[in-house]
Each structure stands twice: as structure tokens, then as C-alpha cells.
Structure 1
Amino acid sequence: MTRDGRAAQEVLADQFRITAQLSALTGEYHRLLQQVAAAGFARQMAEDAAPETLALARRAEQAAKQTAETCALQIIDLEKRLSALGRELAAST
């Protein structure tokens, strides 16, 4: 048993669940990075266009970056939780 009374099997189940979430989120993050790149390319292409078009492209690029950054923060959080579970499991043995 771990120090808070959880069985090792429960900790392992949590590790498995978080690992699956981390895997899915990592795939989503890579997709978002592709969107950031595409939005950046669209902004570059719009630099010779009308000011309104360029402004729209800049906003789209910024939105894509913010979404990717949010996803990256979620990944960091999951990695920390996974690490904490590893320490919890190690302490139980």
C-alpha cells in the first residue's frame, strides 16, 4: 500500500489512464503545430494583400499559437501528474 492507503494496482491504473491521455494530447498537439505552421504561411502570403486580410491572418495565427500553447501546458501538467504517480508507486515498494 502507498502512504495514503492506495493499492499499487490503483496507482498503476491511474498511470495507465494518464499515459493514454498524454498520448492522445500529444497527437493533438502535433496537429495544432501543423495548424500554427499553416496559419503562419497564410499570414506570410497575406502580407502583400489588403490590410484587412493581413489583420485576419495575423489573428488566425495568434489564435492557433494560443491553442497550441494551451495544449502544451496541459501536456506538462499530465507529465507532472505521471511523475508524481511514479514517485508514489516507488514509495510504496
Structure 2
Amino acid sequence: MTAPRDEKQALLTEQFATTAALSALTGEYHRLLQRCAAAGFARQMLEQGDAEALAEAAETEAQARSIAEACHQRIEDMEQRLNALSREIAALR
């Protein structure tokens, strides 16, 4: 009797921890999107200027976008894990 209850408690604990981590990661993702927007704006401002500065700004924008995309992928992975945990918890009921 306690084994299913202990298993359910462990799943609920993991679900809570994953939700908290997802919340923090979502906040980070939004900050990264703001950084992408700022880098894109900086690049646009330099389009009529120095080619070297423009290349550097474009590289900064690409790096920011790459980091944001990786963060987005981690968010999707965590969301899938949460869905799987929900299904496991529902199966124990």
C-alpha cells in the first residue's frame, strides 16, 4: 500500500522541482529574447556605419540568438518531462 503512495509522492516531488526549474528557465529565456532584440537593434543602427563594427554586431546578435534557441529547446524538453510526469501520476490514481 505504501509503495504506490511513495512512488506518487516521488513523482509529485519531481513534478514540483521540474516546474520550479521551468519557471526559472522561462524567465531566463525572456531575458535572452530581450538581449536578442537589443543586439538586433544595435546591428540595425550600425548598418550604415563601419563594416567592422557591423560584423561584430551581427556576430553578437547571432550568438544571442543561438543561446536563446538552446534555452528554448531546454524549455521544450522540460515541458515534455512535465507531461510525462503528469501521465505517470494519473496512471497511479
TM range (shorter): over 0.9
Determine the structure 2 residue equivalent to 1:56.
Answer: 56
Q: Distance in 2 between matches of 1:48 and 1:18?
A: 46
Per-residue deviation, residues 64-92 of structure 1 (Å, max 9, x unmatched):
00000000000000000000000000111
User: Aligned partners of 2:10 and 2:81: how far apart in 1?
Assistant: 14
Matched, 1:86 2:86: yes
Match of 2:73 in 1: 73
Relative to total residues, which structure has the larger helix share, 1 or 2? 2
| Matched residue, 1:23 | 23
TM-score (norm 2): 0.94
Query: Which residue in 2 is equivalent to 1:40?
Result: 40
Q: When the two structures are superposed, what TM-score results if normalisation uses the length of structure 1? A: 0.94
Equivalent residue for 2:11? 11
Question: Gapped runs of 5+ residues in structure 1?
Answer: none
Aligned to 1:49, the other structure's residue is in SS state: coil
Query: What is the CA RMSD across the aligned residues, in angstroms?
Result: 1.1
Q: Which consecutive aligned stretches of 4+ in structure 1 deviate over 3 angstroms post-superposition?
A: none
Higher relative contact order (CA 8 A, sep 6+): 1
1:17 is displaced (CA, Å) by 0.3
Unaligned runs of 5+ in 2: none
Aligned length: 90
